[in-house]
Amino acid sequence: MHALIDPPSSVSSSAELGWPGLDAVVTGVVDARRRVAAAQAAEARFLADAVGLVAERAALLRQEAQQQGGSVRSSDADLPLREVALELAMALRVSDRGVQRRMSEAYLLTTLFPRTLEVWAGGEIDAAHAWAISRTGTLLTSESDRARYETLALEVARTESPVRMAAAAKAIAATIDPAAFTEAAQRAYDERSVRFFPLEDGMARLIADLPAPLAHAIHDTLTARGRAILDQSDEGVPHRDEGASSDAGAYTDDGPHGGRVITGSRPCAHADTRTLAQVRADILTDLLLTATASTRATGAGIEAVTAQIQVTVPALTLAGDPNSGPALLAGYGPIDPAIARRLAALAPGWDRVFTDPTTGIPVAVDRYRPSAKLRRYLAARDERCRTPGCIRPAHRCDRDHTTAAADGGPTAPDNLAHLCRRHHTVKHHTAWRVRHLGHGTLEWTSPAGRHYEDRPPSLVRFVPEPTTPADPPPF
């Protein structure tokens, strides 16, 4: 016997369904998202205003150069942009290159798609919607085409997620002006690249921007080789595609992130326990670092590492003590101690760094195979560009005299620091100023008069040894 319950005659909210708490949470989240959208749109307006400041500064520099009978050098043309972007980046504690890109995007949004900015500020769409509309719409060259595109894209943005809307926006733009979209595809091909991003827990992400057919082909090749390796490790165990029954120990590629899903109940004693995604990564490592892939894709490519990197390993950690502090990759952070020991074993020579036990600052450096003492010290102290927010490794930077040698500045640790070429140029050719505060700390003073400190990495991450509490005074 089944009981039938008639639905309520009318339902106006989730509160009438008996869950008022959910209704309150949804209302609160939606309201908060609207306020976030308004704040983000306001930030975009300020970033666009910064572009105006850059234009004013550039015009002033051109005027000064003309008064002196010359012109601004092409290499100095973007110095006002760098100057302003660096000021914003230090205030926000982010990369100045990223701020520079955001300034450009904000300027295009506010000038080419003002209606999108208004809708965004009103909380009807999110930041991801607004940026997708602007980035795709800039492909269109005529004002009328952009206006038509913006109207259609906003209609989609009001009802679809950012990912769905972005795909629709590209289709709309390509339909309105096919030639412009073809030209954009060619420009994108010209910008193909490989990029590196640090991740947590000793990992990093390598991203290759390639033509879609080539990327698919590479992924398919890695998949085919990976499956062959896993099949070889499971020899003697029938798979589904070999006529095996459903409990024969087959695997599929249907797990999360390419994870290997065991579908049977009789695994082979010698089966490779890696997922297909892990084998793909090992094959890629072997191929790129050794030009060959072993039959089992062991990830042995680390043995071929010849790139210049700086890894700091405590002596006891190097000896295998698991409780003696992390191994540190300059510009990244802690890495797997086992990998650090393998790299140390392959290194042609080591720098031995002695640090102050109370501050963590290097106080001396020597080497089993001698080299320039001061250069080794600076590399150990700085590890990276000493501009706040920059992570370019020291070996790819210039050693800069804070006070120029021509002005009497000594070639000494308290007057030297590593600066990448970009920030080295900004220091010497804009209103930015730098001075040493002692213990390797630099103070940057911006054109607006703000001060930003950059401390050596070893000082930032230093964890002092716990001190033994003093004996209580006698009574």
pLDDT at 309: 60
pLDDT tens, position by position, 141-174: 999 999 999 999 999 999 888 988 888 888 888 8
Q: Which residues contact 450 (CB under 8 A, 6 or more apart)?
A: 87, 90, 91
Lowest mean pLDDT among 2-6, 271-275, 349-353, 419-423: 2-6
Residue 216 has what pLDDT? 76
Q: Which residue bears the tokens 């703000």?
A: 450
The pLDDT value recorded for residue 353 is 66
**Looking at the predicted structure, is the pLDDT value of residue 221 above 90?**
no
Q: Mean pLDDT in the chain?
A: 79
State mean pLDDT over 437-460.
Answer: 89
Length of the chain, please? 475
Beta strands in 265-423 (DSSP E): 311-312, 327-329, 333-335, 351-355, 362-367, 398-401, 416-419
Spatial separation of the C-alpha atoms in residues 40 and 38, rounded to whole Å: 6
Query: Is the Cβ–Cβ distance between 342 and 302 less than 8 Å?
Result: yes
CA neighbor of 77 nearest in space, from 385, 430, 472, 412:
430
Q: Which residue has the higher pLDDT, 242 or 379?
A: 379
Q: Is the pLDDT of residue 175 over 90?
A: no
Whether the CA torsion 80, 82, 85, 89 is positive or negative: it is: negative
Tokens for 433? 């100023």
In tens, the pLDDT along 370-385 reads 356 788 889 988 989 9
How confident is residue 186, by pLDDT bands cut at 50, 70 and 90? confident
For residue 89, name the pLDDT band (cuts at 50, 70, 90). very high
Token representation of residue 424: 């080295």
pLDDT for 466: 63
Residue 434 host element (H or E): strand 433-438
Ordered DSSP codes for 252-287: ES-SGGG--EE-SS---TT---S-HHHHHHHHHHHH
Asked if pLDDT for residue 302 goes beyond 60, the answer is no
pLDDT of 225 higher than 90: no
